[in-house]
Structure 1
């Protein structure tokens, strides 16, 4: 007899003193920097708003909370990014294309899902690369990984950075096939190439923009070791581009980032993607553009928090 998964719910936070409020819905989320990010933004904008972590697997209770008229929306993280979609009233083209919702906002009282991870990746490159033409324009992209973040990275490289060819590198060939199948079904996977071996990588044109979407662990299995060799081959090619390392917890300084830096690449820390996807969320929630948000002070606060966590 199957054991039913226990539903983890949590009491609704006190919100009577607030003008507006939102949530981070996921489980577990104890280490998330999202509450600090959004609370810093609202404080610096002088808004009587708050953003509450909601460590829960209870979708029904969450939907009741988020439908409160004073709730502006919610972040959605694992394990709910895909499961939440059928419960929404609508989803944006980005959210539909990636097949994952990390943000809910209100439109005429309806719950609309989107995916701002794609924007976080885009802005990480746009805000940090001085010369896109020399660095990545017109060159293949490269995504390391095979999960949901990899789909967001493929979409961002294709839709926003103009990468017609995108190499996929991952220890699990089945995951790569799943990513390729999904992206092709959504109309942006035609240029995907699975690079399975270092020998294959040697024969290919060098990449310009790389997004690493894997945890920061040293390779152990034969598949992991071969995938790392593939990455090292691309990093060792004559053209030196820019690598965005999506991993930032518990530290944004990773093995792949160190290899890229040593090989002469520009490295963008994963905190940049996390910050810019959050700024995009607040564009939906507050109606204010990036130029109106306290970008520098928020970056400083997040950097200081990470520094505390890594010392």
Structure 2
């Protein structure tokens, strides 16, 4: 990893300190989001900082009374972080329809994490390929907007939604531009670099994150690409922010050049198509994004998408990062 990405690394390692400082500096609330399908544009327009719940990759012994031990490690680690008070700065918690195990994690979080003042479960069509899916999801995102207006005690205007969508779209574009460098021979952007940049977009103020991405992108053309790439890997699977594992892979003569994970490309790979109705703009985007397996049927679109990524980035091998007991993946 190059020093160019040190700010992203610092944000990742000190994410709780960052969120507390942001809350103190701005006087605005922080909300825990438990899935990347949550429309963060609504939360940003409401003046909040969306912070994705991540695990700590540490042993824990607090979740057993709440969820089964055969739930995946991410479920248990995410719940543990709430029960241990790591997210005590979050006033609310949200989840958009996910696997049944993570829904139970969310239920336990909202019932037993004492600092939570409000919560919201956002239903979403499983079958996003249905001709009815976008209309249904539109109605659910509209309800979410109304709920958030009740939380903040004032309307969320269409102009505020358009501005937040513009900021989030810019973040997606900048990350795509960064990922273009991973197509190079001997890429200047390693897999660890890219993970730090993509995962921090899920809990850092978007405008601040955009400024840092622009700084890095301005400097990248001047960086040498003399690191021998070795085997070009693709990572595929569920949520993964295990930096140590990815650094280990890249330390033995290889480079991770692309991923299909919600901690990476799935979260930013498509922009919101601007429409007259900002709710349609937001709702349609989440139906159109690269699908999580919980929403990838009846046709399995992920296969073609993953193959295209592998070809575009010249991946020569793949690492499947499978959470133990993960039903969808």
TM over 0.5: no
TM-score, normalised via structure 2 length: 0.31
Greater strand proportion: 1
Greater helix proportion: 2
Higher RCO (CA-CA < 8 Å; seq separation 6+): 2
